[in-house]
Amino acid sequence: MKLTFATRPSKLARWQTTHVMRALEIVHPDLTCIEEVFVTKGDKVLDKPLPMIGGKGLFTEELEAALLDGRVDAAVHSLKDLPTENPAGLTLGAIPLRADVRDALVSSEAYTLESLPKNARVGTSSPRRAAQLLAQRPDLQIADIRGNVDTRLRKLLEGQYDAVVFAAAGLIRLSLDAELGNRMQILSFDEMLPAPGQGAMAVQCRADANVTLGLLTAIEHLLTRNAVTAERAFLNGLGGGCAVPVAACGDFRPETSDLRLTGLVSSPDGKKEVRVSGEGKDAIELGKRLAEEALAQGAARILNG
């Protein structure tokens, strides 16, 4: 039996797709997985901030179209790149075990967030990261940066930026953490709460593809799914997206088996923020409840400018 996977061309996207394909082939010895590369609009347009050219769907539309017309069977995404609602006819067939959810500050001079020079130029295209950086260091000069991991690292080393913020999971998956050494600072949750779904991969497929769905159950990680479901429910409850500084992180309390969620809504300049947290057993209910709490505490005014 054969499954065809759609993937974007970057090293990280290819790594993630290969990781999922190999994992499936190990548990299903009669299965052969192949990949087909698609260049998305988000990969082509690199000179404009994401919110200006359409947001999260820029990295997924071409892959989703290929799924819907039957050219491919599945697509592996970084979950934080996916809109909170699946297109009609598609579903998340598996969410494997999550990697490190945190953000990482990378600099050429081994700076930390605290030791960055005054008015340092920090590269990020994420409003969430920019807001949390400015909340702690309002002197920083936030500069947009686009491109894959290698491209952003090259721009840093060329001196275009004093530091750049990455998802730690991507650096670790590409084995760059050892190479970067003390030039990479993992940021704590107090310093930077991650994006909903950060560090998790999602395998998208057609909702009626029962055979594919059955095969994908072997790599499903229920605790990860529940955590990211709560995070995305929080984001969805706020009506937020890529242009809005929203962060969320869920994990489990082993002693109670409850899901714990922390959410953050911030103004773009980092001067105003609402942080909420809570626990519960139902991921969607917890995310929605905390979104309502955040809105009641002033997040609506922040989101509406």
Alpha carbon distances (Å) from 284 to 156, 175, 226, 244: 39, 34, 8, 20
- Name every residue whose Cβ is closer than 8 Å to that of residue 78 and which is 6 or more positions away in sequence: 12, 13, 16, 167, 170, 197, 200, 201, 202
Beta pairing class for 103-107 and 163-167:
antiparallel
Tell me whether residue 139 is one of the annotated catalytic residues. no
Q: Does an H or E element contain 35, and which?
A: strand 32-37
DSSP states of 97-116 as a string? ------EEEEETT---TTTS
Which among 185, 169, 56 has a CA at the least distance from the CA of 122? 185
Whether 261 and 290 have beta carbons less than 8 Å apart is answered as yes
Q: Quote the CA–CA distance of 136 and 129 in Å, as a whole number.
A: 11
Q: Pull the structure tokens for residue 286.
A: 């917890």
Among residues 73, 81, 100, 103, the one annotated as catalytic is: 81
Start-to-end CA span in the chain (Å): 53
Whether 283 and 250 have beta carbons less than 8 Å apart is answered as yes
Report which DSSP code applies to 188. Answer: P
Q: Quote the CA–CA distance of 46 and 145 in Å, as a whole number.
A: 8
Residue 2 exposed, middle or buried by CB count within 10 Å (0-12, 13-18, 19+): exposed
What residues act catalytically? 81
